[in-house]
Amino acid sequence: MTPPDFRALRLAPEQEDILLAVRDFVEGEIIPRAASFEAADRFPDEIVAGLRELGIFGFTIPERYGGMGLDLTTYCLAIEEIARGWMSVSGIINTHFICSSMLQLSGTEEQRERLLPLMATGEVRGAFSMTEPHCGSDVQAIRSVAVRDGDEFRISGQKMWVTNGLRSGLVATLVKTDPDADPPHAGMTCLMISKEPGVAEQGGLTIPPQLHKLGYRGVETTELVFDDHRVPASAVLGGEAGIGQGFQQMMSGVEVGRANVAARGVGVARRAYELAIRYAHERETFGKPLHRHQAIQFKLAEMATKIEAARLLTVQAARAKDEGRRADVETGMAKYFASEMCKEVVEEAFRIHGGYGYSTEYEIERLYRDAPMLLIGEGTSEIQKTIIARGLIARHRG
């Protein structure tokens, strides 16, 4: 697959320069290392250090807080490049990005000044904690509670599937501060919990060993167990006015996170296509190269078309957000289409490889295990279709 056409996407020269720098980093530092990190399920500290030098962790943080002040469109295209190299690395960035976007949108100025400069450099990395063992899509069913105790909150409960759970220094955590609220979301609050990165037990917070997964390896995925863990009341996102606003704040974070997942889908599918067309040129069957068989040509044509369509949906969603428009429908469409497309394209690439696709010596095997995560992360396809339908009906009514 040819790289994105910067002119067709109407990118400014400075955007192009940034994306080319990211692409060079992916080619030189991520692709050659991904297989060894993934096989060992080892966190890629060296790669993360390089991303910090590139300024990736401050991509969308305003310059006045030490970031690069780039728009969501540039960020999504950069994530496509990174996911093309190794999807797990883009996951490390995503929860950090969600946290910083929530602070920009809903944080107090004191919270922004205190946290965003540290996040911009990657010195403090963010995690996003909403799901619990008994509930994923049904967010209002969470049971974690935070009880006010003077100038503190005491938190008890258990969170699940937390990316960056151990190494993060800041965790956006959804809790119930009013368990009896009706509707339940009216009693939810987001706490920006600061913690010591890499420490498994601190105060009333315990972080068990990371969960083992089919794919999406290398990036840590953990539980968070709170047992009367104390945090200052100043941890409430948005200050006192933020109490009871946590559900809406977290949903705004998930909305921009869906753009990230869509971009990841494009990147992983693009890599699968590259591997497939390369193999189709190298492999011969029935006396001619694989790519000269019409059945394979049709597969490649369909794969390339789907990738281009998914990228355009992703860019459209990102630009809607950049323009300050409500984009729940657009991000839902991009995430739904790109994640399903990625699964389909990766499977077709796997089929083109034949038996070799089943071997760990071939990169397509890793992509085949990574792709399913995108069907679930930031909301399942079924949830996306619900969001899209409700949004379209509301717009029509309006």
Residue ranges and CATH numbers for the domains of the chain are 13-121 (1.10.540.10), 126-244 (2.40.110.10), 248-397 (1.20.140.10)
**pLDDT (0 to 100) of residue 121:** 97
Contact in structure between 19 and 78 (CB atoms under 8 Å): yes
Which among 205, 181, 218 is positioned nearest to 86, based on CA atoms?
A: 218
User: Could you say which of 53, 110, 378, 382 is catalytic?
Assistant: 378
Quick: pLDDT tens for 75-89.
Answer: 999 999 999 999 999
- What is the number of alpha carbons within 13 Å of residue 59 lying toward its C-beta? 24
The low-confidence residues of the chain, meaning pLDDT below 50, are none
Active-site annotation holds for 223: no
Here the tokens at position 169 are 């220094």
**pLDDT (0 to 100) of residue 292:** 93
What is d(CA 308, CA 296) in angstroms, rounded to the nearest whole number? 19
**pLDDT (0 to 100) of residue 320:** 95
Which among 100, 107, 27, 112 is positioned nearest to 70, based on CA atoms?
A: 100
What are residue 193's phi and psi, to 5 degrees?
-90, 120
> Distance between the two ends of the chain, CA-based, in angstroms?
41
Number of CB atoms found within 10 A of residue 224's CB: 26
Exposed, middle or buried, 212 (CB in 10 Å: 0-12/13-18/19+)?
Answer: exposed
- What is 280-311 written as a DSSP string? HHH-EETTEEGGGSHHHHHHHHHHHHHHHHHH
Residues forming a β-bridge with 162: 222
| Collapsed DSSP state (helix, strand, coil) of residue 226 | strand
Q: Characterise 55 by phi-psi region: left (phi > 0), alpha (psi -120 to 50), beta (else).
A: left
Instruction: List Cβ neighbours of 40 (8 Å cut-off, separation of 6 or more).
Output: none
Handedness of CA 134, 137, 143, 144 (dihedral sign): positive
Contact in structure between 328 and 255 (CB atoms under 8 Å): yes
Residues forming a β-bridge with 202: 205
**pLDDT (0 to 100) of residue 225:** 98
**pLDDT (0 to 100) of residue 6:** 81
